[in-house]
Structure 1
Amino acid sequence: MKSKNWYVKQLKRKPVQITRFMVQAVFLLFLLYVGFRFYQFYQYFETAGKTPFVERPSAVEGFLPISALVALKVWLTSGSFDQIHPAGLVLFTFFVGSGIIFRKSFCGWICPVGTVSEWTGMLGKKIFKKNFEIPRWLVWCLTPLKYLLLLFFIKIIVIDMPTFMAKDFLNEPYNKIADVKMLLFFLNFGGFTLKVILVLFVLSLFFKNFWCRFLCPYGALIGLGSIFRITKVHRNEATCTNCEMCTKACPQRIKVHEKEVVATPDCTACMSCVEACPIKDTLNMTVIHKKVNKWFIPVSFFVLFIVVVSIAKITGHWDTVISFNDWKELIPTANDIGH
């Protein structure tokens, strides 16, 4: 049993990481609640009103990045803001745009897949007493995979799809019930999907954040904001003792102790490395070359997140225009729409 003083010291030493863990847990529970409420909404129409009616939670559209990418293309090329899944467009645009200043804060603080992946790695460390390292040559081979997946979606949607076709897609029945199709997928996924999930779970046990580091195209897109190099972690080589505590603490397994500047697209601005460093002012987060407090990035990210969502709700860019009668017609036929 660890003493009370040990826990007090941990709280004082790593306040951002304790907070991040709590925020991850809260958002994970919130999204599970959103998913349950959406299931209740679906059940009302599926059972022809035999179950209680529950309002559709607009936040569920955050799980529709493909639809949001199409909507973003239409918005940027024609000025037409998607009214079918407006919350999805707002969330997608904010998270991708936020990468310019806040790096991949979405991945490190909010993303439910990132949270589960990271916690699975923590479980693996408990079981095996360590997180295993992937050989550098293999990391170089695996890293391009998420960018190839991203390039695939960019090509078929942004490059190849004409704006008029993108508009037509947004108004098709399949897109209108894309959230329902997603729900049905998770309720009825088959053996192949289960095997893929199991493989990813096992890989994440051994290699922390395997999905996020090598396979997630959404995270890859957000991470592209780092090319502007506005926000970076600086390492003071003069005071660094090469203890490697920063590298050991990094959820993305970035070799922080070897870098003068951490500007890689994989950085989630989680501040783990900064808090793990035992030498004051050896690792610092900077914005436009100016040192900022370790709370600046996460606090600013969430403040702006709340502001953006609030503006979207006030201006009518949050709730879908799909009516009750539309849902009544679409949901019972969901299995017959699309593929």
Structure 2
Amino acid sequence: ASGGSNWGGCNVWASLDNTTYEMIGTIYGSARYGTLISAINASTSSMQVQLNTSSQIFSGTSEDAQVNTTLCRVGDEYVSYVEATLNGSGLYTLGGVLRGRFDDALAHNAGESFVRIDKAIFQHEFNSNLIDKTIYLKFTSFNGLQQKEQTLDEVTAYSHTLNGGRPSGVKGLSLQSPFIGMSFKVQWQPAYGAEGYVVQILSGSQLLRTVETTSTDYSYSMDEAKVDGIQRNYTVRVASKTANSTSTFTDLNISNPVPPVLANVYTSATSNSITVTWIPSEVPDLKDYQVWISKNASFDPETLAASWTGTENACTIGTLDSTTTYYIRVAARDVWKPTSWNYSARVTQATLDA
């Protein structure tokens, strides 16, 4: 709240029915608030704000910013800053801004609200049974001598629905180990005030699974993937929650790598068959191998059906023409969603005379 040049503060009144009001506290001195001048993204470390009050904003130190002495709220995000540079009447550039102090850093549009969080900001505890209920607030102003206070019937009533506050978002979401096997496990830091966490598994824009947990890690296995539909690329989204509210989600994009190119592919031939061998793949999620053979040197394994599929690291392909040159490529496949595989270099082998 704020007022004119002779405004000393106001008493704060609350009501559940907009008829009977109770005074719950007093505000002394104007708050410092206004709007964001230009849009910013989630990583911007400076911003320009226009204050709607005559009060000033002052610079702090890096230590002040770290301990939130210079705490501000921009839209729904809390930030702290180091430098405050006056550019005009009530126009400030804030520099050295630390983003996402209690939740995720967010992108903001020009015109979003800005508030300097200090002792002029009124705070009042309420019974948790009032969460999701609408209350009404009135503010009766008085002058600098704390006299000539307005009456309740002179001032506007403001309605507000209590939501209990949103818990802090999840930070430090990461893979506990590389996603190279039959499952993956993510972990995150405990969120302040969280009673649990919501974990969502997506592939592209498709939501595959939602679970709730009280742990700060979560594992997703091939057994679950078979139920959800096996994919290769996943997005893991995690939010903290309380009994009445859920934070914004933090996202982590992960994918299972395609098995690497097979090493040392060897061939030998008879008059009507070619035997192909290779060093086995060491990937832990190996499914099988495929071999392609063609008389066309420029054949594409993406469009040609495999001549052999199996789990051994050798195969013999028969019923071939004698004294004919063939071209061979081999690839290892894993259990995740089929994709463009890492095909071996082309090997040339001719069959013998009949």
TM-score, length of structure 2 as denominator length: 0.18
Which has the larger share of helix? Answer: 1
Does 1 or 2 have the higher relative contact order (CA < 8 Å, sep 6+)? 1
In the superposition, the TM-score normalised over structure 1's length comes to 0.18
Larger radius of gyration: 2
Higher normalized strand content (fraction of residues): 2
